[in-house]
């Protein structure tokens, strides 16, 4: 799309008032191209952060394209973030080498990254991180090792008036976080790390039970996968006219309990959430077995009808073959007749 089309989409989908922008708890700026936003929209986001909205910029809101990083430097929004983008450009360029790993700051007071150290976070390989030069008052959560000649900050954060912001050195599409850009990621905890970052930036409690947190997240994903397969199976069974009302009622009960688990999850009652999800999976297995039995009963009549049709066809064709080909006496000899 061209610039006009993109600006049109921004006008359509961006909030229409400052009150609406400030109602958000969190703003993520992922590779923003600031010249697509007008000054009023940038000012709204900036004022929302000043008023208490948390925000994350990635990848350092920088780019190898001068038009993009100069637009970020000129934007009022850049003042709210702890990376000195102008100093980065003056230092010789923002982009690092292909591979790096991180070193977590063990002295950082909040457990944003430290619970992941025993899980190997410092061994996961990242790619193409941007340089961060922290402003005065910024704190470092981690450094990147190998991207530049010397270690440079990988995550930097600070409190900006009533809000809290963070600058991340790379993109969520790159290898440290995901396989989106084509290079395989070694990090199975990327979404858990991201959620810790969001909770920290919105000044909520950051969980230290990261494995419980990881299991809960994967539990919700596993539930959606299994429920999708179950619904597909039910649609197949319904096509044969099976009565699945009881199964639909049980699925409704499961959905209600999952909603309860989600509320516990959002309330950070992780142990209770996991207990509910464990029982949900037990009952979901029962529902799956009932659905399979219902499918078997429905298909039994299909197979029986098919068997009867095949058997009848075999009997009729066998009778005709026996009648016309074996019972020779049914055939009459051909006689030649003459006129007298």
Identify whether the C-beta of residue 243 lies closer than 8 Å to the C-beta of residue 249. no
Identify whether the C-beta of residue 176 lies closer than 8 Å to the C-beta of residue 124. yes
CA 45 from chain centre, in angstroms, equals 25
Rounded to 10 degrees, the C-alpha dihedral 189/194/196/202 comes to: -170
Smallest CA-to-CA distance from 90 within 154, 133, 138 is with: 133
Q: What is the mean pLDDT of residues 172-186?
A: 84
Smallest CA-to-CA distance from 8 within 30, 33, 37, 31 is with: 37
Q: What is the mean pLDDT of residues 52-69?
A: 86
Fold of 3-203: Rossmann fold (3.40.50)
**Choice between 296 and 6, residue whose per-residue pLDDT is larger:** 6
Q: How many Cβ atoms are within 10 Å of 311's Cβ, its own excluded?
A: 10
Q: What is the mean pLDDT of residues 181-191?
A: 84
Task: Give CA–CA dist 112/208, Å, rounded.
Answer: 8
Where do the H-state alpha helices sit in 160-269?
A: 190-201, 210-238, 245-266
Q: Under 8 Å CB-to-CB from 294, ≥6 apart: which residues?
A: 237, 242, 244, 247
Q: Are strands 139-145 and 99-104 parallel, antiparallel or unpaired?
A: antiparallel
Where do the H-state alpha helices sit in the chain?
A: 3-13, 18-22, 39-51, 66-74, 85-90, 190-201, 210-238, 245-266, 270-321
CA 72 from chain centre, in angstroms, equals 28
Task: Give CA–CA dist 157/54, Å, rounded.
Answer: 11
Q: Are strands 54-58 and 26-30 parallel, antiparallel or unpaired?
A: parallel
Is the pLDDT at 328 greater than 60? The verdict is no
Tell me what pLDDT residue 322 has.
73
Tell me what pLDDT residue 210 has.
85
pLDDT digits (tens, 9 = 90+) for 200-223: 999 998 988 888 878 888 888 889
The structure's pTM equals: 0.74
- The DSSP annotation for 280-299 comes to HHHHHHHHHHHHHHHHHHHH
pLDDT digits (tens, 9 = 90+) for 257-309: 999 999 988 887 878 888 899 999 999 998 888 888 877 777 777 778 888 88
Is the pLDDT at 101 greater than 90? The verdict is yes
What does DSSP assign to residue 79? G
Tell me what pLDDT residue 93 has.
66
Q: How confident is the model at residue 183 (pLDDT cuts 50, 70, 90)?
A: confident
Give the percent of the chain with pLDDT over 90. Answer: 45
Tell me what pLDDT residue 148 has.
86
Q: What is the mean pLDDT of residues 220-239?
A: 84
Q: What is the mean pLDDT of residues 138-158?
A: 93
pLDDT digits (tens, 9 = 90+) for 311-324: 888 888 888 777 76
Q: Which of 1-5, 80-84, 207-211, 335-339 has the highest mean pLDDT?
A: 80-84
Find out whether the peptide bond into 45 is cis, omega within 30 degrees of 0: no
């Amino acid at each position: 799309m061209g610039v006009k089309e993109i600006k049109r989409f921004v006008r359509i989908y961006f909030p229409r008032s400052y009150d609406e922008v400030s109602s958000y708890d969190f703003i993520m700026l992922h590779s923003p191209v600031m010249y697509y936003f007008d000054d009023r929209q940038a000012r709204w986001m900036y004022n929302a952060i000043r008023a208490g909205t948390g925000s994350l910029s990635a990848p350092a809101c920088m780019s190898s394209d001068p038009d993009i990083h100069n637009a970020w430097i000129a934007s009022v929004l850049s003042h709210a973030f702890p990376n000195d983008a102008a100093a980065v450009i003056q230092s010789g360029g923002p982009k690092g080498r292909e591979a790096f790993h991180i070193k977590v700051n063990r002295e950082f007071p909040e457990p944003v990254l430290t619970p992941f150290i025993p899980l190997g976070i410092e061994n996961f390989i990242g790619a193409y991180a941007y340089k961060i030069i922290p402003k005065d008052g910024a704190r470092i959560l981690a450094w990147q090792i190998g991207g530049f000649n010397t270690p440079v900050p990988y995550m930097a954060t600070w409190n900006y008036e009533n809000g809290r912001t963070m600058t991340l050195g790379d993109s969520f599409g790159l290898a440290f976080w995901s396989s989106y850009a084509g290079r395989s990621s070694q990090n199975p905890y990327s979404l858990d790390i991201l959620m810790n970052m969001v909770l920290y930036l919105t000044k909520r409690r950051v969980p230290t039970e990261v494995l419980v947190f990881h299991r809960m997240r994967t539990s919700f994903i596993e539930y959606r996968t299994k429920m999708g397969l179950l619904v597909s199976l039910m649609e197949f069974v319904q096509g044969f006219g099976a009565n699945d009302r009881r199964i639909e009622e049980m699925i409704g009960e499961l959905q209600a309990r999952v909603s309860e688990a989600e509320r516990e999850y959002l309330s950070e009652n992780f142990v209770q959430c996991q207990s509910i999800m464990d029982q949900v999976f037990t009952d979901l297995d029962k529902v799956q077995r009932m659905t399979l039995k219902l499918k078997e009963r429905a298909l039994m009549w299909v197979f029986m009808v098919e068997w009867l049709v095949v058997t009848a066809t075999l009997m009729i064709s066998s009778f005709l073959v026996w009648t016309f080909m074996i019972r020779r006496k049914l055939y009459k000899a051909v006689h030649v007749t003459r006129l007298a």
